[in-house]
Structure formats: C-alpha cells, structure tokens
Amino acid sequence: MTTKHNVLIEDTGEQYLCREDRSLLEGMESLQRKGIPVGCRNGGCGVCKVQVLEGSYVSRVMSRDHVSVEDEAKGRVLACRVKPTSAIRLEVIGKMKKSVSRIRVEPAKAL
C-alpha cells in the first residue's frame, strides 16, 4: 500500500491526496485538478514551478535553467520533479501563475 499525503495549493485553496510514488504534478493530474500549471511534465519548461511552504519531499534532478541551487534549497522546485513524503502546502510561482490565480475553489457550504 502506498502512502498518500495531502497537498494544499494556497493560490486556489484546492487540496488533493498525492501518493508518495507520484510527483505533485502527477498526483494533481490523476485527480483532474488544475491548481498547478502543466507544461512539458519532465522538468524542461519551468511552468510548474512552486514554492513549498510546508512539508517534505524527495526530488529528482531539475533543470538549472529554471531552478537554481539556491531556489532548490529554499523550496522553490518543479512540481513535476518532486514527490511528497509528508503533507505539503505550496504556492505557484512559475510562468503561468497569473492563470492559476483566476481559479479559486470555494469551500463547500454547510447544509
């Protein structure tokens, strides 16, 4: 059984569960969510750049054209290249941030 961790996208208020064996981007796409912009899906375009505000993850090699060593040390990573090892809270900081800020998930109203 694969462990799942909650991911909260601050920009939209959207939350989803992401398996540890999937990247943050793969987890989001598998549930048909849209909070993180999607580009090439392999670390080459930088569209899915996020700032991890809380939580831990493991990362794969990222293009230094989009994520510097300093960025990576500060939690600025590509969502397609990191897998959660705990609950994650993040915000979008990539090239498509403006398009994400227009999407806002409203909390469910109590009945």
Structure pTM? Answer: 0.84
Coil, helix or strand at residue 6: strand
Residue-range domains of the chain with CATH? 4-97 (3.10.20.30)
Query: Residue 104's pLDDT band (boundaries 50, 70, 90)?
Result: low
Distance CA 64, CA 22 (A): 22
Query: Residue 96's pLDDT band (boundaries 50, 70, 90)?
Result: low
DSSP string, 87-103: -EEEEE-STTHHHHHT-
| Tens digit of each residue's pLDDT (9 = 90 or more) over 47-87 | 999 999 999 999 999 989 999 999 999 999 999 999 999 99
Amino acid at 83: K
- The dihedral over CA atoms of 72, 93, 41, 35, expressed in degrees to the nearest 10, equals 130
Coil, helix or strand at residue 66: coil
Q: Judge contact between 4 and 17, C-beta under 8 A.
A: yes
Distance CA 56, CA 27 (A): 16
